[in-house]
Chain A
Amino acid sequence: MCLGSGGVLADQFYLIAHEDRTGRSRLHPRATGIGLAASLLGELILDNKLRIFAGDLEIVSNQPPRDGLDHAVLDLLIAQPQHRDVRTWLAYLSQDSADRVGQRLERSGAVESVTRRRMLSTQTFYMPNNELQRNAAAWAPMRLANILVRGLDMSITDRVLAGLIAATGLTRHVLWDFEAHRSAFAVLPNTVASLPEDLRQLIEHTEASVGSVLAVGRR
């Protein structure tokens, strides 16, 4: 997968945040939703469409993004200028971010949708189904761990990804081997600290939102 094309951040986060075998979220569903919402905003920031200034979103460019989902999010941001608070947008986008990123992954062929019947309803999971897809999905957390452990030069997208992984509580999943990944734990704070100010703010707001959502414990 080529890093650098639009939409990579949320896709990678999605693949790390979901079990490749069952398609279920590894985190509390609301934490995953917030992480994906932040990834979508992050994609727009990385694409120079958006920035964050003192907790408020600020539209920099209304040139349409190449990616369809990013385009839809940016359109909504432009259409609702009365809401600027990052926390508001994280809460709003988190409501359906898992489905929307899942659908984008399906369009790109990285996952397939599987509908399962539950007691009274049906639920759609977006999960890798063939060998190629499963390999790509399993590679997502390993790739990040690899970069962190070896201390390789990280792209800005990967640094944001690492920050969001830590902010939502997936660090232990990516860096699962405490001994082998020890050096990565030391690198992690610096990768976040070296980000531009608005991406750091995005990660901080994500972490705060996740914290208050988890403290309440509602679904």
Chain B
Amino acid sequence: MVHKDPAEPDIITSALARNRLGVPSVVFFGVAGAAPLTVIIGAISAIYAIIGNTAVPVVYLVTAGILSIFTVGFVAMSRHIVNSGAFYAYISHGLGRVAGVGAAFVALPAYALMQIGLFGLFGSAASDILAALGLKVGWFTCALVAWAVVSVLGLLWVDLSGKVLAVLLVAEISVVLIYDLVMIAHPAGGSVSFATLNPAPLFTADVGPMLVLAIAGFVGFEATVVLSEEAKDPKRTIARATHLAVILAGLLCGLSAWAMSVTTGPDQVVAAAQEHRTDMVFELVGPHVPEILVQLGYILFMTSVFAALLAFHAAVARYQFALGREGVLPAAWGRTHPRTGAPLLGSVTQSVLAVVVLSAYAAAGLEPLFYVFAWLTTIGGLGVLILMWSASFAVLAFFVRNRGRENVWRSQIAPMIAFLLLSAVLGITVIGFGELLQVSGDSPFQWLVPVLYCVVAAIGVGWALVMRAARPEAYAAIGRGVDGRTIALPEGPPLTKGSHEPVGARGYHY
């Protein structure tokens, strides 16, 4: 902790700081959603395989750059608003409550779909691992087991910033680094190629789809601001940790994507990814490392996906809790389990939604890795991208109205650059979205998803207008998030004489 004033911190400050989170804990919390091993094993090979472009390492670095610039304004604004729980709070503070509710309605399906997509990855990977052990279990069964455990842990509201998670993440990162070293030490053709670090292939039509897939891998870093009241130094801890989470994830993914291309050779990496899918990294390092290290990698991969499932479950439940607390959703969503504090209805809603969607997929007999994992996380990723884009605009608007609260770089230059970059990314993503889902030219999915997001946003806007007309007192509280109240107090002038009278003028009657 850095002290700005020369005086020793008083007992209040130090007693509060003792129980609070430092930078590492917040980083772990942020990286848990963007679980590095999940992204490296699951997403990178999927991008290589689906897009077939070799510029993946550059894409991760570029994404980390864009998100870092976005983070500058984002955390700067988080210091000035009461509730910094979620994107929609920023949007309601920056662009108004109507836009905020619209954003909330985009956020709910976006995060929910990302979590459900991860079930597809978990189910498919677990099924493969069990098959290798000689057990034939379908992906749906594996996904259901994970679903059951996540649902129960979600109801128990298990602490996600705990030490278990930290240990798992450190182990994951170590394994990733070992794998990367092994892959770089065994380059194809005997020489290390830097061809995939060439940004030239970025300037093709593939860049939009690749960027949105890469951004989907970072989702979760924005959750760090939830902890702003839990951080040792709210002003600095969160900012540093969020930047660290983005940079750490970007470097790790970029390095791994490059290492994969080194060991296969840049011309073979796409073919290798299409052949092995989620086993790609393990197949590549398998011949060069002891058996146990590959098995450890598989175990950590499963725990990593599971941690991401839990983190997203908590994020969705928290979103619904905040919306219930402030009256956008019915108040029942704002209630918690008395003992554990778990947002009950939010947790249950997400569990039910997940099992319904997964069952529908199982009934339709669709392939889990592509149609569940890739499709749903991509669709969810687009939603999060829309949120980030609106949030970057909200940051700009907020600091236009509140000048002088932060320096020019944080309040104007960085948010402006982030807004322009995210606008470009969003634009090309929406145009090329059909290609991202790999549907044929006349399929409705070419245009359906962005339109559906517009529709839910419009429903949100409509709902906000209804609230403004019917429940102005609830409308006025939008954006307060979990700070919102559950007891609806009748609005109006205070029933007492007010608090401006002289001391002692009030008599309390016991």
- Chain B stretch 466-510: residues in CB contact (< 8 A) with chain A: 480-490, 494-496, 498-499, 503-504, 506, 508-510
Q: How far is the CA of A16 from the CA of B376 in the complex (A)?
A: 46
User: Are B496 and A197 in touch, CB under 8 angstroms?
Assistant: yes
The reply to whether the CB of B83 lies closer than 8 angstroms to some CB of chain A is: yes
User: Are A198 and B499 in touch, CB under 8 angstroms?
Assistant: yes
Using an 8 Å CB-CB cutoff, how does the interface string of A197-219 with B read, 1 for contact, 0 for none? 11010001001100111111111
User: Are B161 and A218 in touch, CB under 8 angstroms?
Assistant: yes
Q: How far is the CA of A167 from the CA of B83 in the complex (A)?
A: 17
- Tell me if A's interface is mostly helix, strand, loop or mixed: helix
- Chain A stretch 3-21: residues in CB contact (< 8 A) with chain B: 3-4
The reply to whether the CB of A181 lies closer than 8 angstroms to some CB of chain B is: no
Q: How far is the CA of A155 from the CA of B510 in the complex (A)?
A: 6
The reply to whether the CB of B165 lies closer than 8 angstroms to some CB of chain A is: no
The reply to whether the CB of B12 lies closer than 8 angstroms to some CB of chain A is: yes
Using an 8 Å CB-CB cutoff, how does the interface string of B183-203 with A read, 1 for contact, 0 for none? 000000000000000000000
**Which residue of chain A is the closest to B336 with respect to CB atoms?**
A214
Q: How far is the CA of A193 from the CA of B492 in the complex (A)?
A: 10
Choose the segment among A26-34, A116-124, A132-140, A142-150 that binds chain B (4+ C-beta atoms closer than 8 Å). Answer: A26-34
User: Are B227 and A216 in touch, CB under 8 angstroms?
Assistant: yes
User: Are B485 and A3 in touch, CB under 8 angstroms?
Assistant: no
- Decide: A217 near B483, CB < 8 A? Known: A80-B12, A82-B10, A197-B496: no
- Decide: A92 near B15, CB < 8 A? Known: A197-B496, A207-B486: yes
The reply to whether the CB of B318 lies closer than 8 angstroms to some CB of chain A is: yes
- Chain A stretch 84-102: residues in CB contact (< 8 A) with chain B: 88-89, 91-92, 95
**Which residue of chain A is the closest to B19 with respect to CB atoms?**
A95
- Tell me if B's interface is mostly helix, strand, loop or mixed: loop
- Decide: A214 near B482, CB < 8 A? Known: A48-B508, A156-B509, A192-B489: yes
The reply to whether the CB of B24 lies closer than 8 angstroms to some CB of chain A is: no
Give the residues in chain B near A196, CB-CB below 8 Å.
494, 496, 499, 506
Using an 8 Å CB-CB cutoff, how does the interface string of B295-334 with A read, 1 for contact, 0 for none? 0000000000000000000100010011001000000000
The reply to whether the CB of B276 lies closer than 8 angstroms to some CB of chain A is: no
**Which residue of chain A is the closest to B158 with respect to CB atoms?**
A217
Give the residues in chain B near A167, CB-CB below 8 Å.
485-487
**Which residue of chain A is the closest to B326 with respect to CB atoms?**
A211
User: Are A217 and B510 in touch, CB under 8 angstroms?
Assistant: no
The reply to whether the CB of B427 lies closer than 8 angstroms to some CB of chain A is: no
Q: How far is the CA of A205 from the CA of B317 in the complex (A)?
A: 23
- Decide: A217 near B159, CB < 8 A? Known: A48-B504, A194-B495: yes
The reply to whether the CB of B140 lies closer than 8 angstroms to some CB of chain A is: no
Question: What is the CB-to-nearest-CB distance from B502 to chain A, in angstroms, rounded to a whole number?
Answer: 10
User: Are B510 and A156 in touch, CB under 8 angstroms?
Assistant: yes
Question: What is the CB-to-nearest-CB distance from B154 to chain A, in angstroms, rounded to a whole number?
Answer: 10
Task: For A169, give its contact among B336, B504, B506 (CB under 8 Å).
Answer: B336
Choose the segment among B112-120, B267-275, B337-345, B445-453 that binds chain A (4+ C-beta atoms closer than 8 Å). Answer: B337-345
**Which residue of chain B is the closest to A190 with respect to CB atoms?**
B490
The reply to whether the CB of B235 lies closer than 8 angstroms to some CB of chain A is: no
Give the residues in chain B near A88, CB-CB below 8 Å.
12, 16
Give the residues in chain B near A53, CB-CB below 8 Å.
499
Q: How far is the CA of A207 from the CA of B477 in the complex (A)?
A: 14
User: Are A28 and B341 in touch, CB under 8 angstroms?
Assistant: yes
User: Are A219 and B16 in touch, CB under 8 angstroms?
Assistant: no
- Chain A stretch 144-194: residues in CB contact (< 8 A) with chain B: 155-157, 163, 166-167, 169-170, 172-173, 188-190, 192-194
Question: What is the CB-to-nearest-CB distance from B327 to chain A, in angstroms, rounded to a whole number?
Answer: 13
The reply to whether the CB of B87 lies closer than 8 angstroms to some CB of chain A is: no
Give the residues in chain B near A104, CB-CB below 8 Å.
none
Which bucket holds chain B's interface residue count?
35 or more
Q: How far is the CA of A184 from the CA of B308 in the complex (A)?
A: 43
User: Are A26 and B339 in touch, CB under 8 angstroms?
Assistant: yes
Give the residues in chain B near A189, CB-CB below 8 Å.
487-490
User: Are A4 and B506 in touch, CB under 8 angstroms?
Assistant: no
User: Are A188 and B487 in touch, CB under 8 angstroms?
Assistant: yes
Q: How far is the CA of A28 from the CA of B318 in the complex (A)?
A: 16
The reply to whether the CB of B335 lies closer than 8 angstroms to some CB of chain A is: yes
Give the residues in chain A near B343, CB-CB below 8 Å.
214-215
The reply to whether the CB of B230 lies closer than 8 angstroms to some CB of chain A is: yes
User: Are B16 and A92 in touch, CB under 8 angstroms?
Assistant: yes
The reply to whether the CB of B160 lies closer than 8 angstroms to some CB of chain A is: yes
Task: For A27, give its contact among B13, B160, B322, B338 (CB under 8 Å).
Answer: B338
Give the residues in chain B near A155, CB-CB below 8 Å.
509-510
**Which residue of chain A is the closest to B490 with respect to CB atoms?**
A193
Q: How far is the CA of A25 from the CA of B337 in the complex (A)?
A: 13
The reply to whether the CB of B433 lies closer than 8 angstroms to some CB of chain A is: no
Task: For B159, give its contact among A194, A214, A215, A218 (CB under 8 Å).
Answer: A218
Give the residues in chain A near B229, CB-CB below 8 Å.
91, 212-213, 216
**Which residue of chain A is the closest to B340 with respect to CB atoms?**
A28
The reply to whether the CB of B22 lies closer than 8 angstroms to some CB of chain A is: no
Using an 8 Å CB-CB cutoff, how does the interface string of B75-87 with A read, 1 for contact, 0 for none? 0000000110100
Give the residues in chain B near A31, CB-CB below 8 Å.
341
User: Are A208 and B485 in touch, CB under 8 angstroms?
Assistant: yes
Task: For A217, give its contact among B157, B486, B496, B503 (CB under 8 Å).
Answer: B157
The reply to whether the CB of B133 lies closer than 8 angstroms to some CB of chain A is: no
Jot down 23 A-B pairs with beta carbons below 8 A, ordered by A. A27-B341, A46-B510, A80-B10, A80-B12, A89-B12, A95-B15, A156-B508, A166-B486, A167-B486, A167-B487, A196-B494, A198-B499, A200-B489, A208-B82, A208-B480, A211-B481, A211-B484, A212-B83, A212-B229, A212-B483, A215-B481, A217-B158, A219-B159
Nearest first, the 8 A-B pairs at minimum CB distance are A28-B341, A211-B482, A4-B510, A208-B483, A214-B341, A215-B482, A197-B499, A196-B496
Report which B residues bind A (CB closer than 8 A).
10-13, 15-16, 19, 82-83, 85, 157-161, 226-227, 229-230, 314, 318, 321-322, 325, 335-336, 338-343, 480-490, 494-496, 498-499, 503-504, 506, 508-510
Known: A189-B490, A218-B159. 16 other contacts (CB 8 A): A48-B508, A80-B10, A80-B11, A166-B486, A169-B338, A173-B338, A189-B488, A190-B490, A196-B499, A197-B498, A207-B486, A211-B483, A213-B229, A214-B343, A215-B321, A216-B230
